[in-house]
């Protein structure tokens, strides 16, 4: 079967899978159905169609005959057309949508001037902000609800994010903003929790020479003497950790070369010393 025929047959299958999942876990709908489509634009269109109009799975069983009504019911109120509804929505400026999107999409930061509304992917309910593809990458799309002024989905590097994934992106954005303001409380608490899972006796651990390094990922760097259950001390070793997403390592002989290269990259931009941990 030609490639384009396979692609056309994949779209209704993805929509059917999406309809089966939509009432239970919308985030599963994203990962299970839409990311299987190879074309990013068709995947985004598929996602928007299913989430805007939850479709029923087609059935081969003919509908049962409907008995005749004894009397004509009173005429029901006719809902206003979609155009009339959307005309009452508060306006959403492109600049506001771009600002909301770049807060979460780090690869779009500094590229605000390149953003434009995608007429193909937008709808009366949602504005789709698009960034042109970088070399070797795919375009980035950010869908914003026109009425609620909130992001509903992000398509980046061929993957659609919504639901819990989108919530995690919001949490990371908040953490970045707190760090930029000099507030490290949330970041350090998460880093400590991540380290506890790697250290045999967390309550016996000692730390020194701690600092936060900035970059694409905020990282806590320093030295730890993990100790042991017997109370013996093994000496201080360098470590780096970032909790969201989890990214950590403690220096050891087995991983010395990899650790050294990674340390030189992620711990090279000191932003602040951390006296207590």
For residue 258, the enclosing domain spans 184-273
Would you say residue 94 lies in a domain?
yes
Q: Are residues 166 and 190 in the same domain?
A: no
Q: How many domains does the chain have?
A: 3
**Tens-digit pLDDT profile for residues 53-74:** 433 334 444 445 555 555 555 5
The DSSP secondary structure of 39-51, one letter per residue, reads: -HHHHHHHHHHHH
Would you say residue 78 lies in a domain?
no
Q: Is the pLDDT of residue 48 over 80?
A: no
**Tens-digit pLDDT profile for residues 150-209:** 999 999 888 999 999 999 899 888 988 898 888 999 999 999 989 888 888 888 889 999
Would you say residue 66 lies in a domain?
no
Q: Are residues 198 and 156 in the same domain?
A: no
Would you say residue 14 lies in a domain?
yes
Q: Are residues 192 and 245 in the same domain?
A: yes
Q: Average pLDDT, stretch 20-48?
A: 46
Please state whether the predicted TM-score (pTM) of the whole model is above 0.85. Answer: no
Would you say residue 71 lies in a domain?
no
Q: Going by C-beta distance under 8 Å and a sequence separation of 6 or more, which residues neighbour residue 43?
A: 34, 35, 37, 155, 158, 160
Q: Average pLDDT, stretch 259-263?
A: 92
To which H or E segment does residue 9 belong?
Answer: helix 3-22
**Tens-digit pLDDT profile for residues 219-253:** 999 999 987 766 677 789 999 998 767 788 999 88
């Amino acid at each position: 079967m030609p490639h384009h025929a396979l692609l056309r047959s994949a779209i209704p299958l993805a929509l059917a899978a999406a309809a089966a999942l939509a009432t239970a876990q919308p985030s599963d709908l994203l990962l299970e159905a839409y990311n299987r489509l190879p074309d990013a634009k068709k995947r985004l269109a598929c996602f928007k169609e299913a989430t805007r109009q939850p479709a029923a799975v087609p059935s081969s069983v003919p509908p049962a005959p409907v008995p005749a009504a004894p009397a004509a019911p009173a005429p029901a109120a006719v809902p206003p057309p979609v155009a009339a509804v959307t005309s009452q929505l508060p306006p959403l400026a492109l600049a506001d949508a771009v600002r909301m999107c770049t807060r979460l999409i780090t690869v779009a930061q500094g590229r605000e001037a390149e953003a434009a509304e995608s007429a193909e992917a937008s709808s009366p309910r949602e504005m789709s902000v698009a960034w042109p593809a970088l070399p070797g990458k795919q375009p980035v799309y950010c869908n914003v609800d026109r009425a609620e002024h909130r992001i509903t989905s992000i398509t980046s590097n061929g993957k659609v994010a919504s639901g819990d994934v989108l919530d995690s992106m919001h949490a990371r954005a908040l953490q970045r903003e707190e760090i930029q303001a000099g507030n490290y409380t949330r970041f350090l608490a998460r880093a400590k929790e991540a380290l506890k899972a790697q250290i045999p006796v967390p309550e016996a651990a000692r730390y020194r020479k701690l600092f936060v390094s900035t970059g694409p990922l905020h990282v806590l760097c320093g030295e730890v003497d993990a100790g042991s259950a017997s109370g013996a001390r093994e000496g201080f070793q360098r470590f780096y950790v970032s909790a969201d997403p989890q990214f950590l390592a403690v220096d050891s002989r087995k991983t010395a070369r990899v650790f050294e290269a990674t340390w030189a990259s992620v711990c090279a931009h000191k932003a602040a010393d951390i006296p207590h941990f």
